[in-house]
Structure 1
Amino acid sequence: MCPNRLEGAASDLSPSPAAGTGAPVLALRQAVVSVGGRGAMLHRWDPGAGRLSLVAVDGVGAGEAGAWAELGEEQDVPPSRALRRGVLVRTAGDDLGTGASGTVAVPLIGAEGPVGTLSVLLTEGAGPDDLQLSFLHAVAAWAAEHLEHPAGRPPRQEPGPEQVRTAKAVELTAALAEAVTVQDVVRAVAHHVLAPFGAEGLIVSVFEDGRLTRVGEVGYPLDYLKRFEGPLIAGMPVTDVLRTRRPQFLESPQQIYERYPGVTDKILMGTSPKMAWAFLPLIASGRAVGVSILSYNQPRAFSDEDRTLLTTLSALVGQALERARLYDLEHARAQELQSALLPRTLPRLPAAVAAARYLPAGRGEQVGGDWFDVIPLSADRVALVVGDVMGHGIAEAATMGRLRTAVRTLADLDMAPDELLGHLNDLVSDLGEDFYATCLYAVYDPVGRSCCYSLAGHPPPVFVFPDGTVHSPVLSPDPPLGAATPPFTAHELPLPDGSLVVLCTDGLIESAGQDADQGLARLVRLLSGAAVRPARFTGADQAEDVRGLEELCDTVVAELLPDRRQTTDDAALLIAHTRAMPAADIASFGLPDDPRAAGQAREFVRDQLSRWDLDDLSTTTELLVSELVGNVIRHAKGPMRLRLLRSRILTCEVYDGSLSTPRIRQATYTDEGGRGLQLVAALSRRWGARYLRDAKCIWTEQDIPDGTGDRAGAAPCP
């Protein structure tokens, strides 16, 4: 056999005992695990030619394995010596130049004599003990059966109970190697141990801080299971097993009476019908990490083979359980981190309500860099954000948290989408050459009834209009953050009242079976066929509107990602239902560019607030307007315009033709001015400035008292 072909064949074989040629590879892998080896080889014996031929390898390169590809019966190498003697052969030294400390070779004995050999290369340190070698013999017996009777050729006789248990033990080892979570380990033990060993009950518990905590069970009533939790009690089988790290096999109630007279009420009395038990310590890294209890409905005698095999299997279960516990712990921490970095709830704003979904990858890391956000801006505008940091893991999630915080900080400065992405690009570039992220930042304006957005390497938004029409803009997105060179392109779209804005990351629409364009087309078809007819929502039915958005999110996810377990990328989905501000809630007034403007502004405020039944806010609002207009007259230039907006809050805006930045300064006792903006900050719940292309706007917000200013279409505070 050609060595190069040998290595490729071995790596391509499926590790399943039902897969024909995959059975030898599975046997090799379990042999390596059972003795802590570094590699293994399987030879088939040809009596006619008098030679051993290498049929499978695991963990051994083609160049090294080639030296043992064809062996004569009389050669002085471990496989040939094991075949001649018919017993296990152990040698020291690195015969193949792989760095092994020695080799263990076991003959594979069939019904009519030897059929081959199984050889394991050992690692440095202590060699395999008697239990490990016992399990290696069990693996060899299973391998001999499959080597003698490959797939498609039935054995001469049905396998006996011992062969079935051996096969199940090998399968359990394979299942434990693939187990990820603690529950995976429990399911593997229940599936591969209960029936082969005739058990009817199983309890798996972990031991930590002096207490036992049950993590899985089969065949027990819940009220009985509570007996096996809590602090350890002296004179109990479980206590002895954890203390001595040796199994206890109790074959009948009489035997347990004799060994543990104080245990009767604890175990035998009550609802459990169990009559025999195997208490198996779960050992990992030299310490007891838990206990596994097999139980039987009838008294049972445990043979030496049963005891040896169960003891060996319990060691494998202990190692798998400890690994799974670490995974569960890290997974829980990762999920906590992800949850802390994403919005816990989305705000219900006068201009938009939203629903979102974050779906971690089904395979690989369960935490990643996808995020979404809904940010309230001045003048009842709403920022909608989705982003995706390239890669998966804790580092990417932390980077995502930094970017989300940066977006919120920049959004508070009322930056335009293209300008905001420019600053965000600088931040990502400073993180290093290996950091990249995509982002879509959109701002919905309920007064202008438009949506302005920019995207950096990100899928475009999808808009669903009130008549059911779905619009997906065809755009050439700018490069991702960290690879782009600003300026970014700004896009603007008129948005009718009651439209939906749908944003997502590429994990929702792109997979191994479809590219992003195909996935986006599926999303558009899904939204077109969802009979979405968004109606104008009011305060009374806003909660119902949110429920509708939640249902739509679930529909989209179920259609585009039907099997989350097979996905390798995170996905985020954000759907917002927009509402335009009614014309009756908008009042605008032009002001002259001279000192008369302050008086006219106060008069306009008194008149408009009276129309809105907000007279209680008139005095404060007049004072705010006087300060803002006076500030323009002293430090800026016209033309000036005053605008009032009524929703859950009262917004007062003063526009001027200057791009100068208003700043609060610390006035001394002797200064005659400089306290205007301090007064504005004290009288308003929030204030700020935003900049247009050739002008700026200074705005303030005030709470509207409950029961005042009610009008159709007003939405209550969340």
Structure 2
Amino acid sequence: MSPEYPFDEAATARAVIDDSGVLVEWNAGAERLLGHRAADVVGRPAVDLLADGEKRGPAVPVGERWDGILTLRHRDGGTVSAWLLAHRVRPKDDGPHRWLVVTPLEGDGPRLPDDPLENVGLLDSPCAIAIYDERLRLRRINAVMAEVLRLSEENVRGLRAPELSGRPQSTDIERHLLRVLTTGRGTDVRAYTPVGGDRTHAWLARMAPITDGEGRVRGVSVAAHDFTEQYLAQERLLLVNQASVRIGTTLDVTRTAQELADVCVPALADFVSVDLLDPPEHGGEPPTGRPAAPVSLRRAAHRSVHPDTPEAVVEPGHTDVYPAPSPQADALLAGHTIVASTAAGDLAQWLSWDPARTERIAAYGIHTTMSVPIRARGATLGVAVLTRFRNPEAFTPDDVLLAEEITARAAVCIDNARRYSRERETALALQRSLLPRSLPRTAALEAASRYLPAARSGVGGDWFDVIPLSGMRVAMVVGDVVGHGVQASATMGRLRTAVRTLADIDLAPDELLTHLDDLVVRLSEEAGHEGSPGEVGATCLYAVYDPVSRRCTLARAGHPSPVMVPPGGEPREIELPAGPPLGLGGLPFESAEVELHEGTVLSFYTDGLIETRERDVDASHALLCEALSAHSGSLEETCDRVLRSLLPPGGVADDVALLLARTQGLPASRVATWDIPADPALVAPIRKQVVDQLGFWSVSEASFTAELVVSELVTNAIRYGTHPIRLRLIHDAATLICEVSDTSHTAPHLRRAKIFDEGGRGLLLVAQLTQRWGSRHTADGKTIWAEIGLFDEG
């Protein structure tokens, strides 16, 4: 007796046998039937209890239930003929199964006159009816219930509900029976259990008390209504709804395939593998026809009811080749779902080519597989194979329809993810081709950069650049085009090219942004349609640093201001006029100039670095300053520290560009300046002074070229320029720069002299003797410059 069943349990003979045939449990009812005590039989083979004539049979049951009459050996040496009911009991932890063997000892018990349990009218009901007595033992069943149970009333009388079905769910049913018996109030119970042996049904059990003439509860009637079809239809609808919610949460092919496998286990199968065809090597659409055998497939995902998926032969990411007699290849070749089972012999034919899979099928008791092609928009993407071994039932036609519906939804999501991945890779390739592969090494500064594309929305239009200018100066630029995708990357490439072109003519930062604004306005007009302008917009920050003067001129167009970290100082934001974003047109930009100590670190970035949902901009700016203030001699390490401090580990919502630059000053000893009187006769003494200066700098090997370049530039300035005239030489380890400035705004241009012309060959000579040359406008006039390459012997 127990609180769950407060009656004598010995009215049933009950034994439990493990999968090796050894008795592990033996109750008092079994001792009452055969006379053997539990201590005498537990741990011994159950076959020892069979009479000598029964020991060679019956065979081990292959289903979930067995019943029949056996002759058993009594302790006193005699024999007992008994009807036995055996249930296969599967543990929840997927361990070895056991067999529960029962037989009633007292039948339906004593009968009293006018027994209310003998209600013939109730038993005539078209529903499946069972009547339990005051001890919750089965008294009567009608013909409908006998057909459901596939057992006769004569054999099962006296059994409890758990003994009748052998399922854990029956313990809950008996608990409800006890409540009705003790309270006298009826109840409805839903149960999903294989009441009739192997087949699983959904039941609505209406339990009602049975009373005698004096109103005492004498038993409980159970009217069972089979609503399996409605229940399964509801479950299928629920699973389809779950699939629509759980599959396709990201635009990642592998994640989507895993979501397909996760949805199907354990609701539809015990093990699911998803194998996909590799996309075409050079991009493009997957083939629309059916593949030819053998088929090479890559494992995208799998899922099992077992931890660590021990049934899998192929690991995710690995490729396997499937010949024609295989579930994967046959379904793809046929173009429709194929169901195979061990009972039909299909799996043996399929697996003759693969001993490893044959071994797994035998080890885990796999009995049925269903192979569903994954197709979307007319293209074949792969195949999903669903397998059952813990679920004893074979796949039904409804299961096939359900699997096809879920797989079709997943196929569209996988195809969308592939298309997105292909477009994203194209945009990334385009952007990588447009961004600088490496930053130039200059005497003015040391630079490091990082670019991270957005995790979900794809690449954007963020860019950065370091552009060497004349006079050892260097330009730094960072910008952000509105939007994402290929169009934003293409626009970014056009703007970066425009900035380089405008920087090459040495425009001031505010003038450069004005020209860039005009370009964005034109791009917006080109992107529009039907007379409406497009939505092209961008922000930009442009800065020019001069290592000779150690001054930096900056202007911005709607972009975040840079953060500067002076040597030994605290990080602070450089205050700049805001400036409108590019593309508004007609609004002015302003420049600001700051003096920078040598070793100052400048931090340029796009808004994706500091604008997140997790915190406000001020908090992000404080984190940026904290990351920049940590001492590090390496800008690369500083870049990594900044990204770790500000960006989430799972990826960024917007693309991020970061450019760090540490300024370097050019010593005054490497710069020489002369004021030139407007007298052509003084050109020769100037050349002499230049040669002496190059000797002082130990670069006399450049004297010949420098003399010719200086002579030509100074002579042109005296003849065509306006006083005052200034000559400046700048020298670093690799370059000698000659600059001649005057107050005229007329710039010279290169031309080809005719045969008998007496002049016009000077600038042509300068162009051929130097690495590069050019002119730039200044506030007072213009500067003509030329760069001469040196051999660094140090």
Same fold (TM over 0.5): yes
Alignment match, 1:199: 270
**What are the residue-to-residue correspondences of 1:92-103 with 2, within 5 Å?**
none
Q: What displacement does 1:212 show?
A: 3.6
TM-score normalised according to structure 1 size? 0.68
1:590 aligns with 2:661: no
Alignment match, 2:698: 613
Q: Distance in 1 between matches of 2:485 and 2:520?
A: 17
Q: What displacement does 1:679 show?
A: 0.7
- Note closer, same or farther for the CA distance 1:272–1:303 as it changes in structure 2 (3 Å cut): closer
1:241 aligns with 2:325: no
Identity of aligned residues (%): 39
**Contact in 2 for aligned 1:428/1:436 (Cα 8 Å):** yes
Higher relative contact order (CA 8 A, sep 6+): 1
**What are the residue-to-residue correspondences of 1:523-538 with 2, within 5 Å?**
523-527=624-628, 530-532=629-631
Alignment match, 1:284: 376
- Note closer, same or farther for the CA distance 1:483–1:223 as it changes in structure 2 (3 Å cut): same
For residue 452 of structure 2, the aligned residue among 336, 344, 359 is: 359
Q: What displacement does 1:280 show?
A: 1.8
What amino acid is aligned across from residue 352 of structure 1 in structure 2?
Answer: L
What amino acid is aligned across from residue 551 of structure 2 in structure 1?
Answer: S
Q: Distance in 2 between matches of 1:190 and 1:325?
A: 18
The range that moved more, 336-345 or 691-700, is 336-345
Alignment match, 2:513: 421
Q: What displacement does 1:511 show?
A: 3.9
What amino acid is aligned across from residue 456 of structure 1 in structure 2?
Answer: A
Partner of 1:178, secondary structure, is coil
1:173 aligns with 2:244: yes
- Note closer, same or farther for the CA distance 1:282–1:655 as it changes in structure 2 (3 Å cut): same
Q: What displacement does 1:377 show?
A: 0.9
**Contact in 1 for aligned 2:351/2:358 (Cα 8 Å):** no
- Note closer, same or farther for the CA distance 1:589–1:397 as it changes in structure 2 (3 Å cut): same
**Contact in 2 for aligned 1:206/1:289 (Cα 8 Å):** yes
**What are the residue-to-residue correspondences of 1:212-223 with 2, within 5 Å?**
212-214=296-298, 216-218=300-302, 219=309
Alignment match, 2:442: 349
1:337 aligns with 2:427: no
Q: Distance in 1 between matches of 2:326 and 2:399?
A: 23
What amino acid is aligned across from residue 188 of structure 1 in structure 2?
Answer: E
Alignment match, 1:255: 345
Partner of 1:463, secondary structure, is strand
Structure 1: state its 5+ residue gaps.
Answer: 1-109, 114-140, 145-159, 534-544, 711-718
1:412 aligns with 2:504: yes
Q: Distance in 2 between matches of 1:255 and 1:165?
A: 29
Q: What displacement does 1:508 show?
A: 2.1
Alignment match, 1:120: none
- Note closer, same or farther for the CA distance 1:266–1:602 as it changes in structure 2 (3 Å cut): farther
**Contact in 1 for aligned 2:476/2:544 (Cα 8 Å):** yes
Partner of 1:407, secondary structure, is helix
Q: Distance in 2 between matches of 1:227 and 1:401?
A: 35
Query: Structure 1, residues 479-536: CA drift from partner, whole Å, max 9, x if none?
Result: 1222253542110000000001111222222345655555445433443xx3337xxx
Q: What displacement does 1:339 show?
A: 1.9
Higher-helix-fraction structure: 1
**What are the residue-to-residue correspondences of 1:225-236 with 2, within 5 Å?**
229=319, 233-236=323-326
- Note closer, same or farther for the CA distance 1:255–1:696 as it changes in structure 2 (3 Å cut): same
**Contact in 1 for aligned 2:555/2:577 (Cα 8 Å):** no
- Note closer, same or farther for the CA distance 1:220–1:591 as it changes in structure 2 (3 Å cut): farther
For residue 699 of structure 1, the aligned residue among 785, 788, 791 is: 785
**What are the residue-to-residue correspondences of 1:439-478 with 2, within 5 Å?**
439-478=540-579
Partner of 2:582, secondary structure, is coil
**Contact in 1 for aligned 2:576/2:592 (Cα 8 Å):** no
Alignment match, 2:46: none
Partner of 2:247, secondary structure, is helix
What amino acid is aligned across from residue 742 of structure 2 in structure 1?
Answer: D
Partner of 2:519, secondary structure, is helix
Q: What displacement does 1:602 show?
A: 1.6
Query: Structure 1, residues 289-340: CA drift from partner, whole Å, max 9, x if none?
Result: 2112345678965231544433332222222222222122122212222222
TM-score normalised according to structure 2 size? 0.62
Q: What displacement does 1:440 show?
A: 0.8
- Note closer, same or farther for the CA distance 1:643–1:317 as it changes in structure 2 (3 Å cut): same
Query: Structure 1, residues 351-395: CA drift from partner, whole Å, max 9, x if none?
Result: 2122222233344x3122221111111122111101122233332
What amino acid is aligned across from residue 338 of structure 2 in structure 1?
Answer: Q
Q: What displacement does 1:464 show?
A: 0.6
What amino acid is aligned across from residue 216 of structure 1 in structure 2?
Answer: A
For residue 309 of structure 1, the aligned residue among 402, 415, 418 is: 402
- Note closer, same or farther for the CA distance 1:286–1:497 as it changes in structure 2 (3 Å cut): closer
1:185 aligns with 2:256: yes
**Contact in 2 for aligned 1:373/1:385 (Cα 8 Å):** yes
**What are the residue-to-residue correspondences of 1:551-630 with 2, within 5 Å?**
551-562=637-648, 565=651, 567=653, 569-630=654-715
**Contact in 2 for aligned 1:590/1:640 (Cα 8 Å):** yes
Partner of 1:587, secondary structure, is strand
- Note closer, same or farther for the CA distance 1:295–1:665 as it changes in structure 2 (3 Å cut): same
CA RMSD of aligned residues (A): 3.5
Query: Structure 1, residues 92-139: CA drift from partner, whole Å, max 9, x if none?
Result: xxxxxxxxxxxxxxxxxx9789xxxxxxxxxxxxxxxxxxxxxxxxxx
Larger Rg: 2
- Note closer, same or farther for the CA distance 1:645–1:275 as it changes in structure 2 (3 Å cut): farther
- Note closer, same or farther for the CA distance 1:703–1:256 as it changes in structure 2 (3 Å cut): farther
**What are the residue-to-residue correspondences of 1:477-496 with 2, within 5 Å?**
477-485=578-586, 487-496=588-597
- Note closer, same or farther for the CA distance 1:566–1:458 as it changes in structure 2 (3 Å cut): closer
Q: Distance in 2 between matches of 1:249 and 1:637?
A: 94
Q: Distance in 2 between matches of 1:401 and 1:634?
A: 42
For residue 505 of structure 1, the aligned residue among 585, 594, 606 is: 606
